[in-house]
Structure 1
Amino acid sequence: MKLSVSTWNINSVRLRIDQVERALGEIAPDVLCLQETKCPDNCFPLKALQGFGYPHVVQVGQKGYNGVAILSRFPFAKVEPQNWCERQDARHIAVTLGPEAGEAAGFEIHNFYVPAGGDVPDPELNPKFKHKLQFLAEMRDWAGRRGKRPTIVVGDLNVAPLEHDVWSHKQLLDVVSHTPVETEALETLRQEGAFIDCARHLTPEPTKIYTWWSYRSPDWAAANKGRRLDHVWISDDLGSTLRSVDIHGDARGWMRPSDHVPVTATLEF
């Protein structure tokens, strides 16, 4: 049996519903996790998404920003939205796959949208950056007590942790998403949770990997100044099942694209 899980910061699910349909048709994952759906619960395009062949959909949203959703071919045995940093800002939802998922039954899938952190990498001067560091600290606490259940963590974690996860390590050391305090926090979180970074497990450094290219670049493909902000991690007990990780970079060139592209990990049992 194979299980494929994709993660994608869609940057408005209603604006890019056609891109979601295309991705589901071309990539066809078993589970798609979306971030930044930017959609209040009462406006979420549930029927359209179910019509694409994914009958099992859960989401938490709010007007204009944030929001996460999980689309699945398999039913869920459990759904757990969770708030972080004493805020109700729709940045995390988790599911447990039901018996219909076969050998993947009982797997937890956690979909995160970590705060971007603003522009100034100083928590004393920038409340957004302080929030980001607090969010990562709470994730670390969660990871340390999560137990030994088979777990998949995905999402826009808004940190490019390694030197070759950005187009220029030296030039971005003082830029939010690649500062040492962020990269160390994310790596500590991953290690304490006993998670495997799927992309880097199969494609170690120094190969460059990017999943995000700024809208500010007039020719993003030629400049290729990307960052790896979108991640799929698996608990170490699933390490032997990892078969592939695909970065669907062509999606950045679709009409009215998100600035992020889908990332898909495939496990085989």
Structure 2
Amino acid sequence: MRLSVVSWNVNSVRLRMEQIAKFLNSIDADVICLQEIKCQEHEFPRQAFADIGFPYIHIAGQKGWHGVAIASRYPFEANELLPFCRRGEARVQAIVVSGVEIWNFYIPAGGDVPDRAANDKFDHKLEFYERVSAHLKTRNKDHPLLICGDLNIAPGEFDVWSHRQMLKIVSHTPQEIDAFGEFITSGELYDPFRDAYPVPEKIFTWWSYRAADFRKSNRGLRLDHILLNPALKARTTGDITAKIHDWVREWERPSDHAPIQVEFTI
């Protein structure tokens, strides 16, 4: 069975439903994991997703802020909400589809000051990572798992437009890079994007709205990720493909994030 998973911080699902439909009609995907939907469950445009072939929907919404949702062509089972966010914000959800558990995350951005004592938002972000890493260490690693979402850390030197200049900026500070590394190690997670786009190629999924021409300035960050655990990777046959659809960022009034996609056969 082929499984194609998209992750996209859409920065308001209702505002960008037309773009989501246009995008999904232009690619071949089975599951789309959305972040920052910015709506409550009853406000989510369910029918619009059903109309384009994604009738199975799981929503963790919140009024005006945050929020994650998963839409699928295939039926799935919703899992218990994982207690990684100490504030109880709508940032986490889990499903099982075709025997694969999928976690969809919108991890806190962390504010502007990279100091846990001075900035509670930064502390919240790092604690979120610590909770996930602790859970991954105890989780049964024989169960296939895919983790995706806006993880709000660009972990590598070639995941940022300037490694030197970004080391003091939240999203690429040494503390965050270490937290991301611990997260990867705890789950023994595989990053298919670095096989698809080998180092030293710079790859980004986010560009600031401040740039009039995001391609010309190209001051991007790779904040969005899709990761596979060893049990899932072992179940795949053939190639695992990974794509960053940065062309979507060229559309009028786009999200500041581009959708990313991983496809494999199990």
- Which residue number in structure 2 is paired with residue 141 of structure 1? 134
Whether 1:206 aligns to 2:203 is no
3-state SS, counterpart of residue 258 of structure 1: coil
**1-structure distance, mates of 2:160, 2:76:** 36
Cα distance, 1:80 vs structure 2: 2.9
Q: CA deviation at 1:218?
A: 1.9
**Matches of residues 145-184 of structure 1 in structure 2 within 5 Å?**
145-147=138-140, 148-184=142-178
Q: CA deviation at 1:239?
A: 2.8
Q: Determine helix, strand or coil for the equivalent of 1:118.
A: coil
Alpha-carbon separation, structure 1, partners of 2:186 and 2:249? 33
2:118 maps to 1:125? yes
How far the C-alpha of 1:27 sits from its partner, in A, is 1.8
Alpha-carbon distance in structure 2 between the residues aligned to 1:205 and 1:238: 24
C-alpha deviations, 1:147-197, integer Å up to 9, x for none? 120011000000000000000000000000000110111111111111101
Listed one character per residue, the Cα deviations across residues 46-67 of structure 1 (whole Å, up to 9, x for unaligned) are 1211211101000111111110
Residue type at the aligned position of 2:56: H
Aligned to 2:209: 215
Distance 1:212 1:189 in 2: 21
The CA deviation at 1:79 is 3.1
Could you tell me whether the CA contact under 8 Å between 2:86 and 2:124 is conserved in 1?
A: no
Alignment partners' CA distance in 2, 1:4 and 1:200: 18
**Hey, what does 1:254 align to over in structure 2?**
251
Aligned to 1:224: 218
Q: Report the identity percentage.
A: 47
TM-score under structure 2 normalisation? 0.95
Match of 2:73 in 1: 73
Aligned counterparts of 1:184 and 1:200: Cα–Cα separation in 2? 18
- CA RMSD in angstroms comes to 1.2
**Structure 2 CA distance, aligned partners of 1:153 and 1:267?**
14
Structure 1 CA distance for aligned equivalents of residues 119 and 127 of structure 2: 13
CA deviations over 1:206-251 (Å, ceiling 9, x no partner) = 1111000001112211001100000000012333535210100001
Query: What letter matches 2:41 in structure 1?
Result: D
Alignment of 1:23-42 (within 5 A): 23-42=23-42
1:21 to 2:21 alignment = yes
1:243 maps to what in 2?
240
Amino acid at match of 1:217: A
Q: 2:8–2:35: 8 Å Cα contact kept in structure 1?
A: yes
Cα distance in 2 for partners of 1:84, 1:112 equals: 10
Q: 1:230, 1:263 within 8 Å by CA — same for their partners in 2?
A: yes
2:188 aligns with: 194
Inter-partner Cα distance in structure 2 for 1:263 and 1:59: 20
* C-alpha distance in 2 between matches for 1:61 and 1:235: 27
Determine the C-alpha separation between the residues in 2 that align with 1:139 and 1:122: 20
Contact 1:243/1:266 (<8 A) preserved: yes
Does the aligned pair in 1 maintain the 2:58–2:78 contact within 8 Å?
Answer: no
Distance in 2, Cα, partners of 1:32 & 1:225: 26
How big is the shift at 1:82? 2.8
- Cα deviations across residues 109-141 of structure 1 (Å, max 9, x unaligned)? 110010000111111111110110111101111
What's the offset of the Cα at 1:77?
A: 2.9
Contact 1:83-1:89 within 8 A present in 2 as well = no
What TM-score comes out, normalization by structure 1 length? 0.94
